[in-house]
A and B are shown apart, each in its own frame.
Chain A
């Protein structure tokens, strides 16, 4: 029997007992449907995170801080020694301290093998922002590192090449500041206030070039994003009047490394930085916890789908065992006519694989329809606050993989009945009443 006839015969046999096949296919359908939806959920959320990763940080960038000596021992709950260069970050249990870095430290980071470039992060503390004479609002400010981007609702990103003082504002600031909508804010002047080292407040006139979407994770959090010119300008202002020994002190620096480095090589690079007395965090590190949580949830959901599939696999075993029993005589006849045991095995496992294919194909297609519909519905209602999020998304490769996986499971389930059929003795089978 050639392969084409084998498959044709197997498919025809599958439809011989329609009710039984339908029920088995239904069981697999449930598993395939669940698996597709849960992995679609994972794909959707992770794709959203991937899209917003660029907002959190570029792939070839790490944030470097100088480790405060007292904070080295996390186990030590006793009081820490005072370190004049140390600043406390975080509150409560998350409290940690970093040591402020000087130009020499920045130099040292740049000297570490593997670091291509390093730049101190000039942190600017804004007092408020104000449009015209309207109410001033508290705001924070961040800059963009090469490779980062802002998800915009309107306008453009601040241009680091421009000498104009540019800024983007979060979409939540549009109305309170007194603009009709996001587009109305573009090109408008904004007053930004900072206090310098001598406690004098300065007002700076800047231009709004863009309005940023409220994203799950963004460069600026809920703050403004400035271009290089504005950042430098504000930093300059803020440093005015500071004592000389407090000038050019930074809490953190941004370091670039080769984008082609492997995870292991990045680990080595971090190791070298640690040896030099610094702590480094990459974008992946920051995202790590995030994706781990989502991956875990998806994994748990997939386990439920796998359990459904396992039950369905037993359904296949049962269906085919009955089928083998019913067709004992037919198997005997085929063997008497010279059909080899291998072919008999192939015939029955092909039936199993075909049942698996039917169930998974229908399940996947229905799951994609339901998932897309649900996603559209939720996107418009419950999740409207998270623009850009497609809660259930389908990746063709994953979907194809799901079908192949279920067919493989079906094949495994079919091996027991198929082996039983292949072992049948033609004489016994023909005598069977």
Chain B
């Protein structure tokens, strides 16, 4: 791994933020979640955003994933200012560019694994047959082909998280955001899920943004960003 700082890299960053501020509330209840964060994320790298709860790391992830608007500062996706993305274009960018893996899975328990995985394709308006084919492929890639017809609620924690990864993967995203992906799993299962994520990063070149307070997981990433009280504290470390 020879990644150095973003500014010296040859490839243009997929996500680039400058002086990002995010404020919630007004007056006495005003809370500054982010107070000037600048960061470049290059295509194909894995990056860990580390910090305690309330440090602003989740807010940063939400802004990077275009789920929220910054109060101040700029966010470029592929060099394009995301403030210009509105309505249908914003939705398309979310749908095509990002995949999400959440600690609490956010699966629809009453639906089958396959149905859960098809959701992003359904939202994208992909036809029924293509949807089925791609979702089955994604599940097989995660060795869950035999669980496709099982209700999500009947799966084990590790299986659930693999379904979630299949769902994040099914639309061939460029970036996968993982919010405490192993937080609800035991060490062994967590390790398996981590391996899957880093394999995807390595073999398919999918950019990985992991939000965690688990130092071990963070250590496996190319870079770690430490956030405390809404600012980056120890810069962009080069992975060991």
Interface residues of A (CB under 8 A from B): 1-2, 5, 9, 16, 329-330, 333-340, 343, 425-427, 430-431
Smallest Cβ-Cβ distance to B63: which chain A residue: A427
Complex formed: what's the CA distance from A161 to B58 in Å? 97
Which of B87, B100, B120 is in CB contact (< 8 Å) with A340?
Answer: B87
Complex formed: what's the CA distance from A232 to B92 in Å? 88
Task: For the complex formed, measure the closest distance between the CB of A340 and the CB atoms of chain B, giving whole angstroms.
Answer: 5
Known: A1-B125, A426-B67, A427-B62. A337 touches B119 (CB 8 A): yes
Complex formed: what's the CA distance from A431 to B179 in Å? 11
- Is B62 touching A338 in the complex (CB atoms < 8 A)? no
Known: A336-B94, A336-B100, A337-B94. A5 touches B122 (CB 8 A): yes
- Is B100 touching A337 in the complex (CB atoms < 8 A)? yes
Smallest Cβ-Cβ distance to B177: which chain A residue: A336
Smallest Cβ-Cβ distance to A329: which chain B residue: B106
What would 12 more interface pairs be, CB under 8 Å, given A1-B125, A431-B58? A333-B106, A334-B123, A336-B67, A337-B119, A337-B123, A338-B92, A340-B91, A343-B123, A425-B68, A426-B67, A427-B68, A430-B106
Task: For the complex formed, measure the closest distance between the CB of B43 and the CB atoms of chain A, giving whole angstroms.
Answer: 20
Complex formed: what's the CA distance from A340 to B93 in Å? 12
Which of B58, B106, B124 is in CB contact (< 8 Å) with A338?
Answer: B124
Which of B94, B110, B123 is in CB contact (< 8 Å) with A1?
Answer: B123
Residues of chain B contacted by A335 (CB below 8 angstroms): 67
Complex formed: what's the CA distance from A337 to B121 in Å? 9
Complex formed: what's the CA distance from A387 to B6 in Å? 94
Interface check B176, CB cutoff 8 A:
no
Contacting residues of chain B (79-107) with chain A, CB-CB under 8 angstroms: 87-88, 91-96, 98, 100, 102, 106
Residues of chain B contacted by A430 (CB below 8 angstroms): 67, 102, 106
Task: For the complex formed, measure the closest distance between the CB of A213 and the CB atoms of chain B, giving whole angstroms.
Answer: 61
Smallest Cβ-Cβ distance to A2: which chain B residue: B125
- Is B62 touching A16 in the complex (CB atoms < 8 A)? no
Residues of chain B contacted by A340 (CB below 8 angstroms): 87-88, 91
Which of A2, A16, A427 is in CB contact (< 8 Å) with B110?
Answer: A16
Identify the 5 closest CB pairs spanning chains A and B, nearest first. A338-B95, A338-B94, A338-B91, A339-B123, A426-B67
Chain B interface SS verdict (over half): helix
Chain A interface SS verdict (over half): helix
Complex formed: what's the CA distance from A1 to B121 in Å? 8
- Is B106 touching A339 in the complex (CB atoms < 8 A)? no
Task: For the complex formed, measure the closest distance between the CB of A254 and the CB atoms of chain B, giving whole angstroms.
Answer: 70
Interface check B65, CB cutoff 8 A:
yes
Task: For the complex formed, measure the closest distance between the CB of B236 and the CB atoms of chain A, giving whole angstroms.
Answer: 25
18 A-B pairs within 8 Å (CB atoms) are namely A1-B122, A2-B125, A5-B122, A5-B125, A16-B110, A329-B106, A336-B65, A336-B94, A337-B95, A338-B91, A338-B124, A340-B87, A340-B88, A425-B68, A426-B67, A426-B68, A427-B62, A430-B106
- Is B110 touching A339 in the complex (CB atoms < 8 A)? no
Residues of chain A contacted by B58 (CB below 8 angstroms): 431
Smallest Cβ-Cβ distance to B62: which chain A residue: A427
Known: A1-B123, A338-B92. A427 touches B67 (CB 8 A): yes
Smallest Cβ-Cβ distance to A340: which chain B residue: B91
Known: A16-B110, A329-B106, A330-B108. A337 touches B120 (CB 8 A): yes
- Is A338 touching B108 in the complex (CB atoms < 8 A)? no
Task: For the complex formed, measure the closest distance between the CB of B25 and the CB atoms of chain A, giving whole angstroms.
Answer: 13
Task: For the complex formed, measure the closest distance between the CB of A200 and the CB atoms of chain B, giving whole angstroms.
Answer: 95
Task: For the complex formed, measure the closest distance between the CB of A427 and the CB atoms of chain B, giving whole angstroms.
Answer: 5
Smallest Cβ-Cβ distance to B127: which chain A residue: A2
- Is A339 touching B91 in the complex (CB atoms < 8 A)? yes
Complex formed: what's the CA distance from A336 to B90 in Å? 10
Smallest Cβ-Cβ distance to B167: which chain A residue: A337
Residues of chain B contacted by A425 (CB below 8 angstroms): 68
Residues of chain A contacted by B96 (CB below 8 angstroms): 338
Residues of chain A contacted by B119 (CB below 8 angstroms): 333-334, 337
Residues of chain A contacted by B122 (CB below 8 angstroms): 1, 5, 9
Smallest Cβ-Cβ distance to A338: which chain B residue: B95
Complex formed: what's the CA distance from A36 to B100 in Å? 50
Complex formed: what's the CA distance from A431 to B65 in Å? 15
Residues of chain A contacted by B95 (CB below 8 angstroms): 337-338
Smallest Cβ-Cβ distance to A16: which chain B residue: B110
Complex formed: what's the CA distance from A426 to B58 in Å? 13
Residues of chain A contacted by B110 (CB below 8 angstroms): 16
Task: For the complex formed, measure the closest distance between the CB of A424 and the CB atoms of chain B, giving whole angstroms.
Answer: 12
Q: Mark B64-76, 1 if CB is under 8 A from A, else 0.
A: 0101100000000
Smallest Cβ-Cβ distance to B118: which chain A residue: A5
Task: For the complex formed, measure the closest distance between the CB of B161 and the CB atoms of chain A, giving whole angstroms.
Answer: 15
Smallest Cβ-Cβ distance to B100: which chain A residue: A336
Residues of chain A contacted by B93 (CB below 8 angstroms): 338
Smallest Cβ-Cβ distance to A431: which chain B residue: B58
Complex formed: what's the CA distance from A47 to B38 in Å? 78
Residues of chain A contacted by B120 (CB below 8 angstroms): 337-338
Smallest Cβ-Cβ distance to A426: which chain B residue: B67
Which of A5, A334, A336 has the most chain B CB atoms closer than 10 A to its own CB?
A336
Residues of chain B contacted by A16 (CB below 8 angstroms): 110
Contacting residues of chain B (106-134) with chain A, CB-CB under 8 angstroms: 106, 108, 110, 119-120, 122-125
- Is A330 touching B106 in the complex (CB atoms < 8 A)? yes
Residues of chain A contacted by B91 (CB below 8 angstroms): 338-340
Task: For the complex formed, measure the closest distance between the CB of B102 and the CB atoms of chain A, giving whole angstroms.
Answer: 7
Complex formed: what's the CA distance from A2 to B130 in Å? 14
Which of A1, A337, A339 has the most chain B CB atoms closer than 10 A to its own CB?
A337
Complex formed: what's the CA distance from A335 to B96 in Å? 13
Task: For the complex formed, measure the closest distance between the CB of A1 and the CB atoms of chain B, giving whole angstroms.
Answer: 5
Task: For the complex formed, measure the closest distance between the CB of A339 and the CB atoms of chain B, giving whole angstroms.
Answer: 5
Smallest Cβ-Cβ distance to B171: which chain A residue: A337
Residues of chain A contacted by B62 (CB below 8 angstroms): 427
Task: For the complex formed, measure the closest distance between the CB of B50 and the CB atoms of chain A, giving whole angstroms.
Answer: 19
